[in-house]
Structure 1
Amino acid sequence: MTATTTINLPGAFTDWFDGTGLAQGQDDSDPECKATRLAYQNGTTRRAGRGTTTRVTADRTTLTVLAEYAQHCINANADETVPAELRAAHTVLKRATEALATLPAEETPQEAEEAQEAPTEKRPAVDHSRCAHHWNDRTDLAAAQCEKDNPLPDVNPAALTAARILEGLTVHHRRRASVKVTGHGVRLDGTVTLTLTLPDGVDYHAPLTEAIVTDADRTEYAARLKAATSEDIHTLTYITVSGRTTKYLSRAKIDKVGALVARNADRGEAWSIAVRNADGNDVTTDFPCFQN
């Protein structure tokens, strides 16, 4: 059973939090974000002096996400004068951190899976998203057996290369400022994923397209990308109402996909468009579709 505790969120913080994509359900594709939203919506709000406070029953995941959002609120108000939000965010960060220290460490997904797995004569079906080594070494016997029993899906080679060379580097994922990439894999539908490790050691999986290389590791990433492929791979990023999107494409595909993105930009449905080459340089205006 998952251990939980309660945390009180000041009204000034919840007023800000209600405007985030997480609270509005836009980030439900991330299980942690969805769990946090549901916990928040099931919270109890009451009057507290001239304001309100919302009591939320939270597990480690919810507390971690709330702490991350509190830190984001602090960062967002660094150059603005919103003292109430700033004080409330600091309070939430302090309370979430203290509450996390009171909860026992949870089993990692791998530990829970190993504990529940029962011996069987028949080889279980393999989820390729947990099998990054299958893509790194096709001569591996386990990989060969897996591919025989479970045919591998079609995968974008450029995306697979990008995921492989990201290992060991740090990326931004959603509102997390810096998460280390510790592995990669492929889902059964062919989606390339990254294994991301939080500062407390907890791993989770996320699509490659949701990760953005941090400024600190961008030079190293560009060097790895240039050394790893002879194809002229570019990184296309843009923002829509659904969040930031990242695509790793050849120059030819940038021309094709870029035309669609440019049309969305003309309609006000996409913005902050940027294309970087393997050296990490901004080459957006080198492409005709982005020259207007």
Structure 2
Amino acid sequence: MAVDTILVTAASGNIGTRLIPLLLSTLPSTRLILPTSSAAKLAKYASNSRISIEEGSIKDPYWLGQLFVTHSVSTVFLNLTGTDELFTTMNALDSFQRSGTVKHLVYVSGAGDWTSPAGIKTLITRHTAGHVLMKTIVEQKLQHGGFPFSWTVLGPTLFFDNDLSFPDFLQSSLYDIPLGSKGISRVSCADIALAGVKAVEDRGKTLGGKKITIGSLHKYTDADTAALWSKALGREVHVRPADEEGWEAFEAATVARAGKVWGRDIALMYRVFSEDGWGMTEEEYAFQVQVLGKEPDRYEDGVIQMANGEVKKADKRYA
């Protein structure tokens, strides 16, 4: 069997830490190329003969392009975020094309209709967050760019892990993200990683040109979330209200944690999700189950796991 060389971005992130072990165990004839700005973050893989850790900037299209040629990269798992996400993604797509080696791309986007006229109109009308809007550009570029490689898009909803974005949450009684009453679908990073492996393994044969929406069919409201966390932590938890005072407090805390540009963008995204809700159709859910080969992980279970794991750490840290 020919060796498939897969380049994986953000290997040390929430998705990447689940994805790398799955790729290694599921696809034994593969090599992994892991670009990173800090090789120390991936030190646990340094002795693995199937992994090459490459230190550099993913924002540098010349360095990235050389990696494809040097390692004969045939598949890419592209997961990017940040204030320069559009520039980095577009330069990466160009590098894939120029390399002549890339045969398949798995791109991590977001749940929703990003390409139809009606979907685009809704996005442009409702969203101002740059890291949300740029995904419609990328998905349309994949559809109409005439690239010489196949592609599959992953469309996750809101990560379970986002609940722990604010480090003091588990020591307080306040869930800091205003969610509102419309409800938001939730997804585990483990399921995103599993969908990624399925798409990599498929190599565009049946999933090429398709989008896999990943997450729960149920959309969790502020009341749902408060009840789940209250039960898991054994004390009453309140979700920050989705009113002007709540939004101002949330944005101030996000800016303090993530900086003005990124913090403002995140706040803009959450406000629209709170006002409009965010989820998937029954057809998208059924397709997800078909691809994953199982029902997606339950947010109810994820809350319990996060509470059990993180409370123990917090007890030691704050004792």
Larger fraction in strand: 1
Tell me the TM-score range normalised by the shorter chain: under 0.3
TM-score by length of 1: 0.27
Larger fraction in helix: 2
TM-score by length of 2: 0.25
Bigger Cα Rg: 1
